[in-house]
Structure 1
């Protein structure tokens, strides 16, 4: 059975990093998603995690203007704590950003597709509540 089309696309730090580095495959994927009206979401935390010293500020601002940048909420922090606990007591020090981004993904219109390089972390935190695609 075919999975339903995503209604939200969430980028993790590696996916956003590829976009910021003008990776042709990632650009094509994001533009195709936007053309069909699916929002491309990124957490404010992911922005900070993705930027390195070589990131061009103008490129960063232009890229973010084409995405829906989501703030972290108090509800997200409580959801993240629960996700860490439910995943076997993962430690917030190591998994804090992933857990907060996962909380954002879980409040997004479903089904949610996550582009990530950390499939195992997302599977631990979200189980089958999101679709995971490797970048």
Structure 2
């Protein structure tokens, strides 16, 4: 049965895609595989989300700033507040990883585990993210 769309109402979200810094970097660089993943996710009505810290981690001198700005206008960027920082700390403690090296990964993982399911996390660190997220998130390696 076809879904009817009520005027002015968006169809319900069907899950979430979370980008880590490498996922964002490859999207900015217009890498075909990541662009296709995001296009497919949007076609399936999945929301694309990332932590505000990811912007810092992914930006460097060669970053195409105009493309980054445009992409950020299409992605929900979540701030890091006290509650999310505390939850990220708990994930670090539970995984045995140290905050000095894995702080931003923990923030991204915390963001991922609290999103509407199903959740895909696009990352270049599958082992670390699996340690932080467990089975709550499907890891997609780039």
SS in 2 for 1:86: helix
Q: Tell me which residue corresponds to 2:135.
A: 128
> Which whole-Å CA distance do the structure 1 matches of 2:32 and 2:131 have between them?
30
What's the CA shift for 1:73?
1.8
Q: Tell me which residue corresponds to 2:83.
A: 75
Q: Tell me which residue corresponds to 1:3.
A: none
Residue 123 of structure 2: which of 106, 116, 131 is its match? 116
Query: TM-score normalised to the size of structure 1?
Result: 0.90
5+ residue gaps, structure 1, are 1-5
Query: TM-score normalised to the size of structure 2?
Result: 0.86
| CA RMSD after TM alignment | 1.2
Structure whose alpha-carbon radius of gyration is higher: 2
5+ residue gaps, structure 2, are 1-13
Residue 111 of structure 2: which of 99, 104, 109 is its match? 104
The runs of at least 4 aligned residues of structure 1 exceeding 3 Å deviation read none
